[in-house]
Amino acid sequence: MNANELRTKYIEFFKSKGHAQIQGKSLLPDNDPTVLFTTAGMHPLVPYLLGEEHPAGKRLTDYQKCIRTGDIEAVGDPSHLTFFEMLGNWSLGDYFKEGAIEMSFEFLTSPQWLGIPIDKLGVTVFQGEDGIPKDEESAAIWKRLGIPEERIVYRPREDNWWGPAGTTGPCGPDTEMFYDFGKEPCGPDCGPGCSCGKWLEIWNDVFMQYNKNAEGVYEPLARKCVDTGMGIERTVTVLNGKKSVYETEIFAPIINAVEKASGYTYGSDSEKDKSVRIISDHVRASSFILGDPKAVTPSNVGAGYVLRRLIRRVVRHGRKLGINEMFLCPIAEVVIEQMKGPYPELEENRDRIITELDKEEKKFLETLKQGEHEFEKLLPNLLKDPKKIMSGRLAFKLYDTYGFPIELTEELAAEHGMTVRREEFDEAFKKHQELSRAGSEQVFKGGLGDQGEMAVKYHTATHLLHKALKMILGDHAAQRGSNITAERMRFDFSHDAPMTKEQIAEVEAIVNAQIQKDLPVTMEIMDIESAKSSGATALFGEKYESQVKVYSIGDFSKEVCGGPHVEKTGGMGHFKIQKEQSSSAGVRRIRAVLE
Ligand code: SER
């Protein structure tokens, strides 16, 4: 069974169980300050898991593109990926443990669906911790369905709990489903969840019962929900009797393209194989980021910085395979061809994918050339050191001035029998990165949407600003992106000149007037066509379900949006634009606060 068939079967199965199929969302989440990318299928559903009504109903299913960059440097082993697809089904206050587990079991084992033999499956359940009880209920359901007791294992919070890492959001115990590769157990404690390579997690049913609030307290949710996530790449791996995601048809054509570019045959050398895997994964991830309707381009901040790191790492590993020319685009073409069926945005944005990859690759190759040249210039002096140690400060200078990566400095140094004082480099690097680091560590945790009170106010302010901009600048001033933290909002919109002081003052005055009027915010569910014809603003590049929520702020603004919003504008505070600047060609960016 290939990925396309699995995707189709999953959706078909859950539709047959009364679920509505919803659209997967962008890889770049709006209004979520805690993550750079959509990290799980449930991510776009956070507001609904916390109690918002979903226009498509209480049972939902979809496939979602995801990126996890927690530790990019760790990718390259046989199973880790930065980009992956997740299949999911959700219950918003409908079925709970019993329904979720029964459906998971049926889909996995029924010959009509995946037909995995029961004796290849094992599960883990939550063992209880901090006053939250042991999940005996889930264990009993698995046992009743036929999973032998010795393959139902209780595990602690760090394994069987899903939810925000250090931030707020919906969470709860989970039960995870594993495939047994049939290897000998690694010891007496080896069982589902063991990381020795015998077991591979393929699916996770999360029982969302709590909201972790800003004080770190677990408040029971009024409406219990289910969030599940099945990894497409891993499931295709086990269904085809493979050991690694890189051996599946998902990666075969991509690896083929890398072989063609390098002349290297996959499987001949373990270090080089790792480079092939890194290139394959990262080109796939980069193509999806650039092919997203809300694409970012390579830069030194946020998601753009992750993209830059991915591309540059591909180039570095290309060199390890002996590739010294441009090679990324033909591999990206293969990714586009392969994935454009379920993700038509790749075809729509083909030009951007190719142009930006090409540009960044060229730029980095120049950086490398220059860095190498500078290193050569330093060499005679370096070789005078009897201990053959290169100072970390010098290595940092190469990085800081020429963008030359430390790994390459280390490689060049090693070629001349030298080592680099790495701690010294790291220290200098850390200082330099302090600001952007503080930001990215936060977001790398893969936390969930901050639905705090301030964030909700900023969300409503976003709608007011959007409308005010259109009134002052014209209808072309449409939203292109937004980002909210508890401290400020950022808003990107189409406009190709700086705003004048007067325009900024007028926009502020309009927004503040709406706040003072204490307008009610109301929500209606309607189909997308009626929403558009009723004059509601819909976002550029966003895919919508057939049924959508439309938020109105008095008679002032009307937008298609998932929420949440304040109930009345009165308590929002004073709106102030702190900065208005260019974001990219034809796009301006406003930073504003509610004081
Ligand atoms: N949120 C859970 C996960 O990512 C299930 O979807 O594993």
User: Is 286's pLDDT higher than 70?
Assistant: yes
In a domain, 290, yes or no: yes
Which one of 65, 101, 206, 208 would you pick to mutate in the ligand 1 pocket, going by the greatest count of ligand atoms within 8 A of its CB? 206
Q: Check pocket membership of 163 for ligand 1, CB cut-off 6 A.
A: no
**Does one domain contain both 180 and 319?**
no
Burial class (CB in 10 A: 0-12, 13-18, 19+), 274: middle
Tell me whether residue 376 is in a domain.
Answer: no
Q: Are residues 140 and 205 in the same domain?
A: yes
262 with 169, same domain? no
Apex CA 446: angle with CA 439 and CA 579, to 5°?
A: 35
Radius of gyration of the chain (CA): 26
Specify the residue with its C-alpha closest to ligand 1, atom 2.
229
- Percentage with pLDDT > 90 across the chain: 69
- Average pLDDT over the chain, rounded to whole? 90
pLDDT single digits (tens) 342-352: 999 999 999 99
Q: Which atom of ligand 1 is nearest to 41's Cα?
A: 6
pLDDT number for residue 445: 32
Quick one: which of 550, 491, 485, 486 has its CA closest to 522? Answer: 550
Note whether residue 65 is domain-resident: yes
Using the mean position of ligand 1's atoms as its centre, give its distance from the Cα of residue 212 in Å.
17
Quick one: CA torsion of 139, 142, 144, 145, rounded to 10 degrees?
180
The last residue of a domain, from among 336, 371, 406: 371
Residue 200 CA to ligand 1 center (angstroms) comes to: 15
Ligand 1 mutation target, pool 10, 42, 49, 171, most atoms within 8 A of CB: 42
Q: What CATH number corresponds to the domain at position 517?
A: 3.30.980.10
The pTM assigned to this predicted structure is 0.77
427 half-sphere exposure, CB direction, 13 A CA radius: 8
Please give the pLDDT value at position 552. Answer: 95
For residue 90, is it within any domain? Answer: yes
- Please tell me whether residues 239 and 255 are part of one structural domain: no
Domain final position from 318, 341, 371: 371
What is the CA(60)–ligand 1 centre distance, in A? 15
- Whether residue 504 is found in the same domain as residue 458: yes
Is 379 a member of any domain? no
| Model pLDDT, residue 10 | 98
**Is residue 320 domain-shared with residue 456, that is, in the same domain?**
no
| Tally of domains within the chain | 4
In this structure, the answer to whether residues 52 and 191 fall within a common structural domain is yes
Give the pLDDT confidence score for residue 34 in this predicted structure.
Answer: 66
The confidence score (pLDDT) of residue 553 equals 96
pLDDT band at 107 (very low <50, low <70, confident <90, very high): very high
At 527, is the pLDDT very low, low, confident or very high (cuts 50, 70, 90)? confident
Clarify whether residues 102 and 218 are in a common domain: yes
- What is the CATH classification number for the domain harbouring 85? 3.30.930.10
Indicate if ligand 1 lies below 6 Å from the C-beta of 85. no
- Residue 380 domain flag: no
Residue 377 lies in a domain: no
Q: Cα–Cα distance between 54 and 528 in angstroms, integer?
A: 14
Q: Which residues contact 270 (CB under 8 A, 6 or more apart)?
A: none
In a domain, 334, yes or no: yes
Contact 544, 521 (CB under 8 A): no
The whole domain housing 417 covers 385-443
Q: Does 512 sit in the ligand 1 pocket, CB within 6 Å?
A: no
Asked if residue 229 has its Cβ within 6 Å of ligand 1, the reply is yes
Give yes or no for residue 493 having a pLDDT over 80: yes
- Which of 103-107, 112-116, 383-387 bottoms out in mean pLDDT, i.e. has the lowest? 383-387
CA distance 436 to 301: 7
Least confident piece of the model among 73-77, 89-93, 274-278: 73-77
- The residue with greater pLDDT, 282 or 132, is 282
Same domain, 297 and 338: yes
Kindly state whether residues 521 and 423 are assigned to the same domain.
Answer: no
For atom 4 of ligand 1, the residue with the nearest CA is 40
Alpha-helix runs per DSSP H in 17-70: 46-49
201 lines ligand 1 (CB under 6 A): no
**Which of 64-73, 393-402, 502-511 is the least confident region?**
64-73
- State whether the Cα torsion 214-220-223-229 is positive or negative: positive
How many angstroms separate the alpha carbon of residue 459 from the centre of ligand 1? 25
| DSSP alpha helix (H) spans, 405-444 | 406-415, 422-444
The pLDDT, as a whole number, for residue 32 is 64
Q: Are both 127 and 263 inside the same structural domain?
A: no
Q: Which of 225, 243, 261 is the last residue of a domain?
A: 243
Query: For residue 18, how many other CB atoms are within 10 A of its CB?
Result: 12
**Taking a C-beta distance cutoff of 8 angstroms, is the pair 583, 589 a contact?**
yes
Write out pLDDT tens, residues 322-338: 998 899 999 999 999 99
- Position 436 scores a pLDDT of 44
SS3 state of residue 58: coil
Percent of the chain scored above 70 by pLDDT? 94
User: 274 and 231, same structural domain?
Assistant: no
The predicted structure's pLDDT at residue 541: 60
